[in-house]
Amino acid sequence: MSLERSKFAIVTDAVIVGAGPIGLFQVFELGLLGLRAEVIDSLPQIGGQCTELYPDKPIYDIPAIPVCTARELIERLAEQIRPFSAGLHLGQEVTEVKPRADRRFDVATSRGLRFDTGAVIIAGGVGSFQPRRLALANAERYEGESLHYRVKDPSQFAGKDLVILGGGDSALDWTLTLVEKARSVVLIHRRSEFRAAPASVQRMLALRDAGRLDFIEGQVQSLVEQDGALRGLRVATRDGITRAVDLDQLLVFWGLHPKLGPIAQWGLELHRRTVAVSTASFQTSVPGIFAVGDINDYPGKKKLILSGFHEAALAAFGAREHLAPGEKVHLQYTTTSPLLQRRLGVSAQPSEVVAPARDSVRRA
Ligand code: FAD
């Protein structure tokens, strides 16, 4: 089944919502069955919780990998799915999934991409990660202009007076990067302990001591506005003084929190903040929409990467059945199947004949 690009939508076999470990492995399982996938994630990088929450922590319970960091796991998965050339669309949320009369789906993202897909596989984890926002009067008004939760183009901050809020890796990394471009940088964090890498903290303190940037330990109280523009912040410092800090641009890195978000609007049966599935194929209450990984719920569910991998395998067979109802699918082994090896790009065999391999086990 092939992918074409129509004038209006990307036509594909499956859209995968979420590029966490399970969404990535889903590409592999679909690929083995000859199905093309497009993967979408609201984060700017792949890996879901592994990359966002614990990239350098070791994982010990992936079969046959005694230990690897979460980042390494994602790198290995990315390498494993490379033969299938899935489309990857990052930094955008899947906002709409609409079933059509012809059993296919119209899918749309927050950046206006459109897909015409045969199946949808939700691998949305604990939901789409959203930045923790500044809960101050009028803050929303300045979002994207003088208030930012992500840096898309660092050059827009050249020659400006910047205030950066936060004490994690993003806040420190951007402080150290933007101090080279900005006219001035003030980092504000509510305490003197940081969650960022110690080396970054050391560098920031050294730059402060050298007079290259300012660090204020305090809590933001309110915005300073003038003629409809954001001009500064009022900050309650640790010594009980309220200081006004001038700025051109404000960057807030207070971390991300998960939100089920638009998935809740797609007409699926939900169990609290998860999607109900049948364990035969991990199909949801809507035929053709599947849910795998942390996002789903069924009796005995365990939120483990291992469980998600199994779910992805069965969801791929389910998606295949939805795309071609009643068509027999022979379970084949990657070890022995010329067809699977061709799909994996490890065989020189030219033809695409789908003859059931003599040594394949026919279960489906
Ligand atoms: P996630 O990793 O959550 O990825 C889901 C992705 O979907 C996210 O990137 C999100 O942005 C995206 N998304 C959601 N909604 C949308 C939308 N509408 N549009 C676009 N994108 C969307 N598990 C283990 O098995 N072993 C361990 O040792 C282990 N250690 C852990 C340690 C920590 C600190 C944590 C927090 C978790 C750990 N886990 C571990 C759990 C494991 O990380 C999760 O089970 C796994 O990440 C689930 O993968 P997933 O792909 O289902 O979801």
Instruction: Measure the CA–CA gap between 71 and 77, rounded to whole angstroms.
Output: 10
Query: Does pLDDT of 52 surpass 90?
Result: no
The CATH class for the domain spanning 8-129+257-363 reads alpha beta
**Whether 139 contacts 147, CB under 8 Å:** yes
**Whether 66 contacts 143, CB under 8 Å:** no
The pLDDT tens digits for 61-120 are: 999 999 999 999 999 999 999 999 999 999 999 999 999 999 999 999 999 999 999 999
% the chain with pLDDT above 70: 93
Per-residue pLDDT at 349 = 57
**Position with higher pLDDT, 27 vs 349:** 27
Helix axes 198-209, 169-178, angle to 10 degrees: 40
CATH 3.50.50.60, the chain: domain bounds: 8-129+257-363, 133-254
Per-residue pLDDT at 267 = 95
Instruction: Measure the CA–CA gap between 351 and 337, rounded to whole angstroms.
Output: 13
Which amino acid type is present at position 313?
Answer: A
Instruction: For ligand 1, say whether the CB of 124 is within 6 Å of any of its atoms.
Output: yes
CA 17 to ligand 1 center in whole angstroms? 12
Point out which residues pair with 119 in neighbouring strands: 14
Residue closest via CA to ligand 1's atom 6 equals: 18
The pLDDT tens digits for 297-322 are: 999 999 999 999 999 999 999 999 99
CA 155 to ligand 1 center in whole angstroms? 32
Ligand 1 probe mutation, 107, 270, 305, 310, most atoms within 8 A of CB? 305
What is the position in ligand 1's atom list of the atom closest to the CA of 109?
Answer: 19
Instruction: For ligand 1, say whether the CB of 186 is within 6 Å of any of its atoms.
Output: no
Domain 133-254, CATH homologous superfamily name and number: FAD/NAD(P)-binding domain (3.50.50.60)
Residue closest via CA to ligand 1's atom 45 equals: 304
Instruction: For ligand 1, say whether the CB of 201 is within 6 Å of any of its atoms.
Output: no
Backbone angles phi, psi at 100, to 5 degrees: -115, 165
Verdict on whether the full-model pTM lies above 0.85: no
Per-residue pLDDT at 251 = 97
CA 294 to ligand 1 center in whole angstroms? 6
pLDDT interval class at 128 (50, 70, 90)? confident
